[in-house]
Homo-oligomer: A and B are copies of this chain.
Amino acid sequence: MTTNQSESHVLSKSCQYALRAVVYIAAHSTTTHLVGAQEMADGLDIPKHFLSKILQQLTRNQVISSTKGPHGGFFLSKENERITIDRIVEIMDGPGLFKACVLGLPQCSSTKPCPLHFQAVEYRDGLYNKLKRLNIKELALVVHQENIKI
């Protein structure tokens, strides 16, 4: 078989990194120790400079918090912890992912469905609704309780 090897994906790499980073911060930051970009890059095996860009973006969008200087780093405020996962996906991959047609048809909708519309919508909305109801704190808690590797 001849393939493209294009390896399509649901979430971009930036988004995958962002989600893992947020969970990492939740798991490793304490009042006495903020998590640094270097530490995170090592712990998650993500290129440091690329991760930094993503962390900047999350900070600008107030998904995570940061302080500069010695002993500086990233942490989660109470407000941050209540941010839901779909928001992170939206920031990293845009608002279209859970709304756009699988076949890329702009006019596709439930009244004018594309050939795969209902198949796709059923499962897409299912995932989306779960991400909308799951916030960072809850996600981090699950990861901790189930001892899940990130």
Residues of chain A whose beta carbon lies under 8 Å from any beta carbon of chain B: 1-16, 19-20, 23, 57, 60-61, 85, 90-97, 100, 102-105, 107-108, 112-116, 119-120, 122-124, 126-127, 130-131, 134, 139, 142-143, 146, 148-150
Contact = CB atoms under 8 A, between A and B. Distances in A.
B94 A5 contact: yes
Contacts of A7: 93-94, 96-97, 100
Nearest to A2: B60
B119 A127 contact: yes
Contact of A122 (B8, B90, B126): B126
B2 A61 contact: yes
A149 B10 contact: no
